[in-house]
Amino acid sequence: MVYNPQIVRIIRSSPIMLERIRQNLAFETQEASIPENLTPAAVLFPLLLKDNNLHVLFTKRTQTVKAHKGQVSFPGGVRDPHDENLLATALREAQEEIDLKPEDVEILGVLDPITTVTTGFLVYTFVGFIPYPYPFQPNSREVAEILFVPLDFLVNDKHWSHRSYDTENQRFRAYFVSYGNYRIWGATARILKIFFEKNGIEMNIKAAMES
C-alpha cells in the first residue's frame, strides 16, 4: 500500500474500522471441506484499543514448544477432539496461552484458511475484539512474551518484505514484517496480509535484499 492518509484515518478511528471488519469478513468456516491430508487448526487474531489506537496482540513462542519455536504468532493451535468447532479451538488456545477468557472476546469474523507449507496445518483465523487493559497471564511453557503492535504500523508496507523459496513440490513466497527487534513472518504474516486484503487494503510489498 502506497501511504494512504484516508486508510490510516480509518484504521485510527476504531469504531469505523471495527464496523468495516464486521462487514467484510464472513463467519462460515466450511469445516466439512477440510482435506484429510491436512490437520485442522485455528488461531485468534485479537484486536484491542490501546492508547486510543487499534493494536494487534501477538505472542512470541518459547523455545520449548514443538513447532515454530521462538516465532511471533497469534494465539492458537490444533483442534482438540473435544472442541465443538474451530472457533472453540481458537478460544480455548487463547485461554490456555494467555488466560484470555472466551466470554471476553467479541468475534468479528473469520478469514479464508491458509495451509502451512512445512507442517501441513489448515489454519482458520478468527478475528476478535478484546478489552484492554486486561489481566493477561502468559503460559510460561508456551509464551515467552506478549506483543501489542499498532495496526497503523502493520498496514504500512515499508515495514514489509518478501522472499521466494523452493520446496520439493512448489515455489512459494514468504512475507516478513519488521517491528523493532521482532520479525513477524510465515503463516502469521500471510494472515496479516489476507486480513488487510479482505478489508480492501492492497499491499505493495517489495522483495527483500538478498544477503
Q: What is the CATH number of the domain that holds 46?
A: 3.90.79.10
Asked if the structure places residue 116 within a domain, the reply is yes
pLDDT value for 36: 87
Q: What is the 3-state secondary structure (H, E, C) of 42-103?
A: EEEEEEEEECCEEEEEEEEECCCCCCCCCCEECCEEECCCCCCCHHHHHHHHHHHHHCCCHH
CB 42, CB 93: distance < 8 Å: yes
Kindly state the average pLDDT of the residues 3-20.
81
Asked if the structure places residue 176 within a domain, the reply is no
Tens digit of each residue's pLDDT (9 = 90 or more) over 33-49: 788 899 999 999 999 99
pLDDT value for 209: 55
Asked if the structure places residue 102 within a domain, the reply is yes
Asked if the structure places residue 57 within a domain, the reply is yes
Range of the domain at 130: 5-153
pLDDT band at residue 12 under the 50/70/90 scheme: confident
pLDDT at 183 over 90: yes
Asked if the structure places residue 103 within a domain, the reply is yes
Kindly state the average pLDDT of the residues 10-25.
90
pLDDT value for 78: 96
Cell numbers 484515518 correspond to: 9
Distance CA(157)–CA(8), nearest Å, equals 12
How far is the first Cα of the chain from the last one, in angstroms, to the nearest whole number?
A: 25
pLDDT value for 90: 98
Asked if the structure places residue 108 within a domain, the reply is yes
Residue 101 main-chain phi, psi, to 5 deg:
-75, 140
pLDDT value for 32: 66
Asked if the structure places residue 132 within a domain, the reply is yes
Kindly state the average pLDDT of the residues 81-92.
97
Tens digit of each residue's pLDDT (9 = 90 or more) over 102-134: 999 999 999 999 998 788 899 999 999 999 999
CB 86, CB 42: distance < 8 Å: yes
**Domain total of the chain:** 1
Asked if the structure places residue 35 within a domain, the reply is yes
- Residue scoring higher pLDDT (178 or 26): 178
Tens digit of each residue's pLDDT (9 = 90 or more) over 135-169: 999 999 999 999 999 999 999 989 999 998 877 77
pLDDT value for 74: 98
